[in-house]
Structure 1
């Protein structure tokens, strides 16, 4: 994985490329990245229309937001047409679902001429996450929590304890290769408190941001994955006070590592 040149997104909003109202609304939201979906969210009969709509939507633009197109998987009959469409588009990224080996990610990156966000959604994908993350075209890993639960036989309503090892593996693989780590979706659309709690838990685990499936989740996600006012103040004070080597700051020891963390907090605010 070559290090992404852009700051990692806090929020990745997935929406059906075939839904023009959802596409139009996304242009008014503060999602850091808009993902136009050609896969699960689109009925088989609408795949061709969704493909054309995705290309047109990214051409029209989403302002300062990053854009991505999620294509159908390598075994799907729509996959080749999706690759050709993304290659001809101006999308910033291609999202590849259910990645289970490094070679598939490399082929897609080469065919699309785009950085790949690889979705880790199955046990083989989790076990191969480190190799997938090492592919030069792969700029980030996305945890596909719903599919992971299903493939592991975990009930849909269960907490995340059963996928905790898989989630941490995704973070470790991404970090080892210098890329983004994006948490999976939160399914309960009316449970804002639950969403915030899961975002905070994901951030504490090391994730950069979260996949979202509803526009109402964007603002809460951005707040949870962004630094708090107290974190920003502390980071700026640390940078102002730091000189070199290990030293005392506000009752704790800091060194170069903490300076780098503070710089990342300030960069996020900017």
Structure 2
């Protein structure tokens, strides 16, 4: 039977690859790469470097444009569902056309496939349709959340206290109640600048694990303007931003 790996490749440092990921790369015949129109050239180079160093001799790379998602519509959930369906169409076609009956394919996933990524849901949808038959395995990766905590030499959790992981879209509605530690991902609009900073600390990281890494920490009221300025400058210079941060109630 055909087999597919969903391989977490970490937040940007080539050394983030786990031994399990390295072994999966070495077992793969065909790598499927879905590129976004705004794909970052430095991340493309990193991905190709990983394949050169760890891919088996004679492996193939199939690179296609990813499905586009409507980011302007207020109907966020519907837009994501539509995007995943069109992604499933694409993946189903790729597997049918490029993966032989006894071959192994792989999708490389930034960070960890189980944390704010659609690839598992897309693969499940393809299998549910019944047109393609294959087994698949998820290889965990080092997420930007783990990398953030390590680079700031802190822990994500504190004794007896819950941790919440949320998005910038949800943080914009206000700091969550009944929780003191909140990790924020997918924040395209710097939502940390729009909440009450009283009593909050921030541990911020952008381009984690890459030469362009930005790390800032401190009281939110004092550091938010600096982070916003660094973030805007970096986005203007590179054309994209990939950041994560931990907000923590201090002294509680």
Tell me, yes or no, whether TM beats 0.5.
no
Q: Identify the structure with the greater helix proportion.
A: 1
Q: Identify the structure with the greater strand proportion.
A: 2
TM-score by length of 1: 0.29
Higher relative contact order (CA 8 A, sep 6+): 2
TM-score by length of 2: 0.31
